[in-house]
Amino acid sequence: MRKSFRKTVVVCMSILLLSSMLAACTKGSGGSESENRVLRIGIMYGSKDNESYFRQQYTDTFEVMNQNIEVQIVQANDYNVMYGARGGDEDKQDKPDPYAEFQKLISGDNPVDVVVADPDVMSRLIEENSLKELDPLIQQDKFDIDAYVPTVLEGIKSLSTDNKIYALTPTFTSSALFYNKKLFNQEGIDLPTNGMQWDQVIDLARRFVKPDEDNKVFGLMLNRYSDPFNDALSMAAPLQLQQFDENLDKMLVNSEGWEKIWNKVVGLYRDKITPTNDDMYKIYSENQSNDGKYVPFMDDLFVQGKVAMMIGNSYYLNDLRNAKDQSAEGFEMPDWDVVSLPEHPEAPGIGSSIALSTLMGVNNKAQNPNDAWKFIKFMNSKEWAKLKSRSTYEMVARKEFLKPLDGMTYNVEAFYSLKPTPPSKFNLSDMYSKYPYFYQAVNEPGQQLFQQVLDNKKTVKEALAEWETKGNANLKKMKENPDQPISEDGNAGGGVVSSVY
């Protein structure tokens, strides 16, 4: 009860505070302020269960500020229906296409006004002329777009072929390369810098490899957990290497580009630059048997000083802040900083991790386009950014409010100095909905073969060729029987395998 009351008080105070901050922003907008109106916001996926979260995050304050506007949240695909429909034969015949359902919200008899979607879907909608260009509205209202983080703005413009603005996002998430200053200084190794290439970072990491030392320090982790196959996928993202063709007819992994990436990641694990699952388990076990003493953050090798560099997302800043506040006997918080992610020479200035969190656009067929733009302006205003900058999970798109958390000191520019990877041709959410065993058909063989390379049972060339062959067979079976799992021999059906849901 006490927690619930406190939470209610905090929410109310936030709304009152923001109300006073935004009063100036709501004056002079088009339409009679006494006229009751409806603003319909369309989202790709959702349910009644999580609508309250969406409202709390994005619409509650807007409705308080505009009490004559009723906001309706409309989801194209209900999670509960999607998840509940798996199993019965009657459900398998007419499984709706998620994107087609979204299009109904946009161009149907009662079209939504605001469209909220991820970059891949937004790019597709722009191509189909479903969204209103925002540049004229930005100029007309003298909306301060220049205050945006340049790379976020570039990412927004890259959604269209004409380099114009069709959507805005108030927040984004990103990753950077975290490094332990003390470990570098102890070894007399130059600290990492922004704009380094992959080979340069790997060369730095290699200098920490000392196989005979008991208290081993690893040079580099590509994420917080050992996941070699997905490490390779992440490293390949800025190069836009495709796993399969547009029609899902054939695999495209047996290529020079994929071979280069696999060799690079395999080398990190084989040369003990990056810890394997066994290495991590050994450290974890040692921490558990540490004479009964509590080891803070025992599963975090970076905080423990067991790894010199690690790629982490902006959420990880919260863990570092918590570690800083942690007081325990014998625990020493690492002296750390961040630089931008390593780059590929073939794709300079591009990082794979910048995610445009909540893109919002105005439907070309909006029944209430004025309030749609009013809402988007509100969500992307300076005042809203100031309030959201206190969030510990996302970074605000307005540069002036991007500052280190809670008095911490680090190179915050590392999180936004690289451009996002251009939108993919494929929407994986749609793919998984249409083909629930897509991961099993495409990625599982790749994951197994990658491990065989690490175990010295196959060369990279052999593994990629086999992935191509197995994947081609699996794609064919998957398209013929979308709701059937793929057995080990590549046939649909047989065996008990969990779907991606």
CATH number, residue 384: 3.40.190.10
Q: State the pLDDT at residue 298.
A: 77
What does pTM read for this prediction? 0.85
Tell me which of 134-143, 157-166, 385-394 is least confident: 385-394
User: Does residue 201 contact residue 342 with C-beta atoms inside 8 Å?
Assistant: yes
- Band of the pLDDT at 147, cuts 50, 70, 90? very high
Kindly state whether residues 312 and 288 are assigned to the same domain: yes
Helix (H) or strand (E) holding 256: helix 256-270
Q: State the pLDDT at residue 284.
A: 81
User: Which of 402, 420, 438 is the C-terminal boundary of a domain?
Assistant: 420
Q: State the pLDDT at residue 49.
A: 79
Expressed in percent and rounded to 5, the helix, strand and coil fractions of the chain are 45, 15, 40
CA distance 399 to 280: 37
Q: What percent of the chain has pLDDT over 70?
A: 83
User: Which of 351, 384, 412 is the C-terminal boundary of a domain?
Assistant: 351
Domain that holds residue 327: 178-226+274-351
Report pLDDT digits (tens) over 174-209.
999 999 999 999 999 999 999 999 999 999 999 999
In a domain, 235, yes or no: no
Kindly state whether residues 42 and 135 are assigned to the same domain: yes
Kindly state whether residues 378 and 308 are assigned to the same domain: no
Helix (H) or strand (E) holding 419: strand 419-420
CA distance 451 to 403: 41
Burial class (CB in 10 A: 0-12, 13-18, 19+), 206: middle
Average the pLDDT over 371-380 and give the result. Answer: 98
State phi, psi for 72 to the nearest 5 degrees. Answer: -110, 130
Report pLDDT digits (tens) over 258-307.
999 999 999 999 999 999 989 988 888 877 766 656 666 778 999 999 99
309: closest CA among 228, 395, 202, 384?
A: 202
Report pLDDT digits (tens) over 215-233.
689 999 999 887 899 999 9
Kindly state whether residues 334 and 414 are assigned to the same domain: no
Kindly state whether residues 33 and 151 are assigned to the same domain: yes
- 211 or 466, which is more confident: 466
Report pLDDT digits (tens) over 79-111.
777 665 544 444 444 567 889 999 999 999 999
Alpha-carbon dihedral sign for residues 272, 274, 280, 283: positive
User: Which of 295, 317, 351 is the C-terminal boundary of a domain?
Assistant: 351
Q: State the pLDDT at residue 405.
A: 85
- Band of the pLDDT at 488, cuts 50, 70, 90? low
In a domain, 430, yes or no: no
Q: Which amino acid is at 500?
A: V
In a domain, 487, yes or no: no
Beta strands in 47-105 (DSSP E): 69-78
Kindly state whether residues 166 and 187 are assigned to the same domain: no
Q: State the pLDDT at residue 376.
A: 98
Kindly state whether residues 359 and 341 are assigned to the same domain: no
- 248 or 8, which is more confident: 248
In a domain, 280, yes or no: yes
- Band of the pLDDT at 374, cuts 50, 70, 90? very high
Q: What percent of the chain has pLDDT over 90?
A: 63
Most confident of 1-15, 28-42, 95-109, 363-377: 363-377
pLDDT at 148 > cutoff 50: yes
CA distance 349 to 337: 20
Assigned token pair, 333: 């918080």
Q: State the pLDDT at residue 297.
A: 76
In a domain, 4, yes or no: no
Q: Cα-atom radius of gyration of the chain, to the nearest Å?
A: 25
Residue owning tokens 């349910």 = 47
In a domain, 253, yes or no: no
Q: State the pLDDT at residue 290.
A: 62
Kindly state whether residues 364 and 334 are assigned to the same domain: no
pLDDT at 464 > cutoff 50: yes
CA distance 448 to 474: 15
69 Cβ contact partners less than 8 Å away, ≥ 6 residues apart: 36, 37, 38, 39, 62, 63, 371
Q: State the pLDDT at residue 289.
A: 63
Kindly state whether residues 207 and 323 are assigned to the same domain: yes
In a domain, 499, yes or no: no
CA distance 12 to 16: 6
Beta-strand relationship, 350-351 and 355-356:
unpaired
Q: 70 - beta bridge partners?
A: 38
Kindly state whether residues 78 and 37 are assigned to the same domain: yes
Kindly state whether residues 216 and 317 are assigned to the same domain: yes
293 Cβ contact partners less than 8 Å away, ≥ 6 residues apart: 329, 330
- Band of the pLDDT at 9, cuts 50, 70, 90? very low
Average the pLDDT over 125-145 and give the result. Answer: 97
pLDDT at 66 > cutoff 90: yes
Q: State the pLDDT at residue 21.
A: 47
Output the DSSP codes for 351-372. ES--EE--EEEEBTT-SSHHHH
Q: State the pLDDT at residue 30.
A: 44
Q: State the pLDDT at residue 387.
A: 86
Q: State the pLDDT at residue 145.
A: 94
User: Does residue 340 contact residue 94 with C-beta atoms inside 8 Å?
Assistant: no
Beta-strand relationship, 69-78 and 37-46:
parallel
User: Does residue 217 contact residue 187 with C-beta atoms inside 8 Å?
Assistant: no
The count of structural domains within the chain is 2
- Band of the pLDDT at 5, cuts 50, 70, 90? very low
Alpha carbon 355 to its chain centroid, in Å, reads 5
In a domain, 473, yes or no: no
Kindly state whether residues 161 and 64 are assigned to the same domain: yes
